Structure 1
Amino acid sequence: MDIIANKKKWFTVSAVIMLVGLLFALINGVNYGIDFTGGSLIEIELRRTITPEEARLITDDFDAGANIKFLGDEKTIVQIRSIEDFDSDQRLEIFNLFRDKYDLEETDFLRADKFGPAIGSEIRNRAFLAIIISSIGMLIYITFRFEIYYGIAAIVALFHDVAILLAVYSILGIPINSPFVAAILTILGYSINDTIVVFDRVRENMRSIKKYNYAEVANKSISQTITRSINTSLTTLLTIVALYIIGVEQIREFALPLIAGILSGTYSSIFIASPVWVMLKERKRRKIGYNPNVGTK
């Protein structure tokens, strides 16, 4: 397959997903979770284990989108996190409903906090800063290890992965919380590893193939590494999908962005990074006025 010759097709697929995600974001807004917007947090000791569905029979009357987690060694503490700004009467009413249903004591009301959007905004800003710093660090490393054009292409692929993941979350309306940020950083590392494998082969092939035939070099390098990239991603996906299917809600929050990110990262390392590298190198060649046909007849 001539990956480079069909680069417009690959770019179009990504652009369509991003545009659809942007459209959903403009219409419905970005669904930031409590970690980014602020809200209310309640913790109640139930002295027994229940399912999230049982807890939602109570919490859905106050916030159908509330996040339910279970804490403690035996998972008997229910933690309710909501973007709604519950006042003290509402928090007490929620506890009273749990108390009446599960015969609890007043001391089982462990925690009731609320924090404003200022704290959520700080978390969001720090998350974006972490992504930017990690990207800059990767750019410096790849530039030192290879050259600046490899680094730029790799960073373009990384931002592609972040944009695709944000688009998926926007389309599906999934709340963006702190596990999303942790997953993003994990995906960036995973994606850059796949990209470096391809670029390392590109660098090796540059020695054996006509120096300025960048498209041929990229296509050959991709064909030599694509099986490895796909097999590695499939192996990883099998594990993460299993975690998503059988895991608790907290695990699913982390596993879902990983699934989307690994798919996007594999795609970008094959269909985005290398074509961008070829475009940059050919642009440089045209800029210095090199004509590959001169002296070849």
Structure 2
Amino acid sequence: RVPGLIANIALAINMIILFGAMAMFGSVLTLPGIAGIILTLGMAIDANVLIYERLREEMEAGKSLKAALDASYDKAFSAIFDSNLTTLITALILFWQATGPVKGFAVALTIGIIASMFTALLVTRNLFSWAIHLGLLKKITMSNLIKTTNYDFLGKRRTTVVLSILIMVASIAVFAMRGERNFGVDFKGGDRLVLEATQKQPALNDVRSAINSINVGDAVVQIERSAAKEFYTIRTPKDTSGRVEQHLKATFPDAGFKVEQAETVGSVVGSELARSSVIALLLGMAGIFLYVAVRFEFAFAAGVVVALLHDVIITIGIFALLGRELSLVIVGAILTIAGYSVNDTIVVFDRIREGIAGGRKGSVIQIMNKSINETMSRTILTGGVTLLTTAALYLFGGPVLADFALTILLGVLIGTYSSVF
């Protein structure tokens, strides 16, 4: 219980530092900014999981509480430092290159990473030391919810590589077939109107016919679901959403239409946002590659970038297959996935590096398999916590957060798969 309480105190301090720093710098909280905060929470929880998993291993090895604590922090440091620093590189490049709300993501993530490293490595360690010194903590009993596995993951590497390539090719094909329909108002420009029928819900085709009857130009009408509610998402040319709203309310008076969201974006602004977002993502990947190549070696750096591309491409492909549109909110979600994917992969690579440097017996394949199995408990725990958070966002966050949460859900599942296989 005490380690859990300490982790919760550290997490609370992390959030106080994050929101205090954002207020001090005058940052405005946007949906991509919320994405940065969620990634920060995930990495803060992951850092504590890494330390506690190491602590459990050291206690099982028969060390005293003080010696086990010192060893667990020392051994977890490199994984926490490398995974956070690679994400910080991406955040700083985004802050330098990106524009609009994506910059809000970078600000929240940069502050959050610094705060989470401070609380995980310093605050929790000092709290443990004080608890031991005051006699509040004399022993730690940690339940092993997920037993250590001994599965031959790399024995299935040929099958999983072929499967991943096929899914990536299919994802690219689906995205290419949809063309401009992949992009929302943020990138194409125009109006986006989200309506909820609070009373009698008219048929989708009737809504489409009603909009077409007033000749506003090309209009896309979709029904999106969030929890038990259904929303009409209507995309029309610029400065036409007001006419559409009035006409629908007059045509379907029994529907009780309520506006959930309305926005207008110019086409020039949209294209600039798309360009800056793509450049920032590519530069971030290049920065991660260079850092991992220096800290580990070239093969590890290539592995991180391949895993990152794998996760992003498949997530976007599934998103396109579901008929959803890319927006700045989704860009924030994709950046979150990128950070989560890198963090996951670095943790596994750090254990592999430790095994090789420590002279562990066996071939490189055997050492890699052993390392993946040793980090499986942490992978499942961290992924499970993140999935619970995003599932709640998807079910109860309304239409604005539904696509964002869905993207994170897909990305966490795919990222967990790529970090293992």
Q: Same fold, TM exceeding 0.5?
A: yes
Pick one of 279, 295, 310 that aligns with 1:160.
310
Aligned-pair distance for 1:43? 9.8
144-153 vs 248-257, which moves further? 144-153
Instruction: Map Cα deviations across residues 166-223 of structure 1 (whole Å, 9 max, x no partner).
Output: 1111221211111110011111111111111111111110034468932122111111
Supply the AA of the counterpart residue of 1:253: D
Q: Which of 177, 185, 204 is the aligned partner of 1:34?
A: 185
C-alpha distance after superposition, 1:115-174 (max 9, x if no partner): 23x332222111111211221222233233322322221111111111111111122121
Percent identity, aligned pairs only, is: 33
**Equivalent-residue separation in structure 2 for 1:80 and 1:2 (angstroms):** 47
Asked if residue 251 in structure 1 is aligned to residue 407 in structure 2, the reply is no
Q: What is the alpha-carbon distance in structure 1 between the residues aligned to residue 199 and residue 288 of structure 2?
A: 40
Q: Name the counterpart of 1:3.
A: 153
Aligned to 1:85: 237
1:169 corresponds to which letter in structure 2? F
Which blocks of at least 5 consecutive residues in structure 1 are unaligned? 69-77, 103-110, 272-297
Whether contact under 8 Å (2:333, 2:404) holds in the other structure is yes
1:100-119 aligned at under 5 Å gives the runs 113=264, 115-116=266-267, 118-119=268-269
Judging changes above 3 Å, is the alpha-carbon distance between structure 1 residues 59 and 86 closer, same or farther for their aligned structure 2 residues? farther
Shift of the 243–53 alpha-carbon distance from structure 1 to 2, 3 Å rule, reads farther
Is residue 14 of structure 1 aligned with residue 164 of structure 2?
yes
Structure 1 residue identity aligned to 2:329: P
Contact 1:229 1:266 in 2 (8 A): yes
Alignment counterpart, residue 382 of structure 2, candidates 211, 232, 238: 232
For 1:53 and 1:244, locate their aligned partners in 2 and report how far apart those are by CA, in whole Å.
Answer: 24
Q: Following the alignment from structure 2 to structure 1, what is the Cα–Cα distance between the partners of residues 336 and 200?
A: 30
Once the two structures are TM-superposed, the CA of residue 59 in structure 1 deviates from its matched residue by 6.2
Number of aligned residue pairs: give it: 251
Query: Of 131, 150, 158, which residue of structure 1 is paired with 2:300?
Result: 150
**SS state at 1:142 partner:** helix
Give the distance between the partners of 2:232 and 2:322, measured in 1 at CA: 24
Deviation at 1:67, TM superposition (A): 9.0
Q: Is the 8 A contact 2:308 2:342 kept in 1?
A: yes
| Counterpart residue number, 2:348 | 198
Match for residue 140 of structure 1 among 283, 290, 294: 290
* 1:53–1:184 Cα change, 3 Å: farther
The residue type equivalent to 1:261 in the other structure is G
1:65 match: secondary structure: strand
Alignment partners' CA distance in 1, 2:367 and 2:250: 68
CA distance in 1, matches of 2:412, 2:200: 30
More helix by share: 2
SS at match of 2:325: coil
Flag the 1:248–1:136 CA change in 2: closer, same or farther, 3 A.
Answer: same
Give the structure-1-normalised TM-score.
0.71
Give the residue type in structure 2 aligned to 1:136.
A
Counterpart position of 1:290: none
Task: Give the superposition deviation at 1:95.
Answer: 2.9
Q: Are 1:125 and 2:275 counterparts?
A: yes
Q: How far apart, CA to CA, are the structure 1 residues paired with 2:291 and 2:198?
A: 46
| 1:86/1:269 CA distance change after superposition, 3 Å | same
Report if the CA contact (8 A) 1:43-1:80 is conserved: yes
- The structural deviation recorded for 1:91 is 4.0
| Unmatched tracts of structure 2, length 5 or more | 1-150, 212-218, 225-230, 254-261
Q: Deviations over 1:217-263 (max 9, x none)?
A: 21111111112102210121012112211221111121010000001
SS of the equivalent of 2:375 reads: helix
Contact kept in structure 2, 1:33 and 1:177, CA below 8 Å: yes
- For residues 165-244 of structure 1, the aligned pairs below 5 Å read 165-209=315-359, 213-244=363-394
1:75 match: none
Alignment partner of 2:154: what SS? coil
Distance 2:203 2:171 in 1: 29
What letter matches 1:17 in structure 2? I
* Residue matched to 1:276: none
2:221 match: 65
Residues 172 and 313 of structure 2 are in contact (CA less than 8 Å); yes or no, is this contact kept in structure 1?
no
**Deviations for 1:35-75, whole angstroms, at most 9, x for unmatched residues?**
1111225699xxxx97599699896453453699xxxxxxx
2: CA distance between counterparts of 1:219 and 1:251?
38
The normalised TM-score by structure 2 is 0.52
Q: Deviations over 1:5-41 (max 9, x none)?
A: 3211111221222222233234333521111111225
Cα RMSD over matched residues?
A: 3.6
2 CA distance for matches of 1:164 and 1:198? 21
- Distance in 2, matches of 1:171 and 1:79, equals 19
2:188 partner letter: T
